Chain A
Amino acid sequence: MKSYLLEILIGLFFASTLVLVSLYSGIDAPFIYQGF
């Protein structure tokens, strides 16, 4: 039971990290989307 719960938490941690890294890497991008 403990291992199953830990697996869920680790999966949540990995997903959060991926989302944060991906979103933060695109922060400067918004100016681009407006074109010039």
Chain B
Amino acid sequence: MGMPTELKQLELFIEKFRYQPSAAGLLRIAGWTFVFLLLVSFTTTPQQEVPTVSFVTMNTTASDLQWVRNDLDYFPSDNILNIAWVSGSSINLGYNAEFQFLPQYVNQLLSREAGIASRDFVYNLNARRILDTYTMVQDALLRKPDAMVLVINPFWVFNSKAVFYKKNIFNQGAKLWWNATDWLWQFTLTAPANHLFNLIGRHIPVLAKRRHYIKKFREKSRALLGFSLIPNSAMVQGEFATATYKLSQPLQFWLLYQSLGSKGEPLITPGMTAKTWQLAAISLADTDSSSWPVEIMHKMLTKIKHSGIPTLLYVAPVSPDLQGLGARHGYNAVLNAMDDFKREYQNDKLRFIVRLPEKVADTITFKDYLHLKGAGKLPAYLSRHLSEIVSIK
């Protein structure tokens, strides 16, 4: 075996376990792996839990191989309206505000004004590209919400770059893109680990329903050994909330690598503020009919329309300070493209809000061109539209 002289004795031991598998042997190994995974899966029966709070985040952590929570296959079927929100940082209202996030405010208004009890399942990803949005929408549609709110960030929506940086929503793509329109992406946009843990793993309970197994293994090992074999999270809840809402894998990529310019020039320069960054981002919007973002938008809207799920799609409002700047041209191109999509796809159940009425827009205040300081009449406006579309039979 060519081991050093000092370790020659070890060769005799290793020789006993030496094994060179044939092709059939490799298949048997794969088969046994599958058998043992199923055996572990049968040690307990996963139960679907009903969330006890009305604001539930769907994305987990950057370290999570599966990225999206997997203890819910379907949203609970009870008297409470399940609303999926696919959104980004434009729904943040600030930690000191009465409501931290826009969906919570809308939730309260729906209850108070329209008598509708609702529960929000929020897919929140900052600086998401249209491919991220499409993936999250597909995940939401699979779980059959009673309604959906899709927030379009005008600064990023038509950006034709998708960021595959560390683990991100595309982990779920292997499962979600296995359909007639997206299957080719399996060969270009997914990694082997995604296939293992998401495409195949969704059928193996111990990989698909980890929360349940983590809980059961902890209980059993504590009962048998006196301690848990699976440690608790090192994070305390406050840290985790912050960590999750800083979960911005696409954004981190731009921050770290600072390379966005179409000519390879750095887009993000030292001393850049959120405003200058937003202006630079919108300059890269590609609304040409042959562009990838436009193609993905068509796919996404087709799927939403065919699902029949009442959906409110709105373009996040921007600060009036954007008026008179060069970026206004890029912003208008985004709005015009959204108007085209509205003409093609709007119906009773899929409602577009591309521009807010002035009496609503004028009440909103901003920290920069996009992020809200004061939501003004926006929550009431959204709540009214949402209550209308869910009431349509």
Interface range on chain B (Cβ under 8 Å from partner): 35 or more
Residues from chain A with Cβ under 8 Å of B197 in the complex: 22
On whether the beta carbons of B29 and A19 are closer than 8 Å, the reply is: no
Known: A3-B25, A32-B69. A11 touches B35 (CB 8 A): yes
Residues from chain B with Cβ under 8 Å of A28 in the complex: 60-61, 63-64, 233-235, 240
Residues from chain B with Cβ under 8 Å of A27 in the complex: 214, 230-233
- Bound state CA distance, A33 and B70, in angstroms? 10
On whether the beta carbons of B25 and A18 are closer than 8 Å, the reply is: no
- Bound state CA distance, A28 and B71, in angstroms? 14
On whether the beta carbons of B69 and A11 are closer than 8 Å, the reply is: no
Interface mask (B3-37 → A, CB under 8 Å = 1, otherwise 0)? 00000000000000101010001001111111111
On whether the beta carbons of B230 and A22 are closer than 8 Å, the reply is: no
On whether the beta carbons of B52 and A31 are closer than 8 Å, the reply is: no
Say which residue of B19, B30, B56, B233 sits within 8 Å of A30 (CB atoms).
B233
A-B contact count (CB 8 A): 128
- Bound state CA distance, A26 and B32, in angstroms? 25
Interface mask (B246-268 → A, CB under 8 Å = 1, otherwise 0)? 00000000000000000000000
Is B217 located at the chain interface by the 8 A CB criterion?
yes
On whether the beta carbons of A35 and B51 are closer than 8 Å, the reply is: yes
Chain B nearest Cβ from A4, distance in angstroms: 8
Residues from chain A with Cβ under 8 Å of B52 in the complex: 34-35
Interface mask (A1-36 → B, CB under 8 Å = 1, otherwise 0)? 011101110111011101101111111111111111
Residues from chain A with Cβ under 8 Å of B125 in the complex: none
Q: Which residue of B lies closest to A15 (CB)?
A: B36
Q: Which residue of B lies closest to A34 (CB)?
A: B53
On whether the beta carbons of B36 and A11 are closer than 8 Å, the reply is: yes
Residues from chain A with Cβ under 8 Å of B55 in the complex: 35-36
- Bound state CA distance, A25 and B54, in angstroms? 26
Is B161 located at the chain interface by the 8 A CB criterion?
no
Residues from chain A with Cβ under 8 Å of B64 in the complex: 25-26, 28-29
Known: A18-B207, A32-B60, A36-B53. A23 touches B17 (CB 8 A): no
Q: Which residue of B lies closest to A35 (CB)?
A: B53
Residues from chain B with Cβ under 8 Å of A8 in the complex: 32
Is B100 located at the chain interface by the 8 A CB criterion?
yes
Q: Which residue of B lies closest to A24 (CB)?
A: B230
On whether the beta carbons of B57 and A35 are closer than 8 Å, the reply is: yes
- Bound state CA distance, A4 and B61, in angstroms? 40
Chain B nearest Cβ from A11, distance in angstroms: 3
- Bound state CA distance, A10 and B28, in angstroms? 10
On whether the beta carbons of B25 and A7 are closer than 8 Å, the reply is: yes
Chain A nearest Cβ from B391, distance in angstroms: 26
Is B206 located at the chain interface by the 8 A CB criterion?
yes
Apart from the given pairs A11-B32, A27-B232, 16 other A-B contacts in the complex at a CB distance below 8 Å: A3-B21, A8-B32, A11-B31, A11-B33, A23-B206, A23-B217, A25-B66, A25-B210, A28-B235, A29-B61, A31-B233, A31-B241, A32-B59, A32-B60, A35-B51, A36-B241
The interface of chain A, by Cβ under 8 A from chain B, is 2-4, 6-8, 10-12, 14-16, 18-19, 21-36
Q: Could you write out 15 A-B pairs with CB less than 8 Å apart?
A: A3-B25, A11-B36, A12-B36, A18-B33, A18-B207, A19-B207, A23-B217, A25-B64, A26-B210, A28-B235, A29-B61, A31-B233, A32-B69, A35-B56, A36-B100
Shortest Cβ-Cβ A-B pairs, 9 listed: A11-B32, A35-B53, A15-B36, A26-B210, A35-B56, A29-B60, A14-B33, A31-B240, A11-B33
The interface of chain B, by Cβ under 8 A from chain A, is 17, 19, 21, 25, 28-37, 40, 49, 51-57, 59-61, 63-66, 69, 71, 100, 196-197, 201, 206-207, 210-211, 213-214, 217, 230-235, 237, 240-241, 244
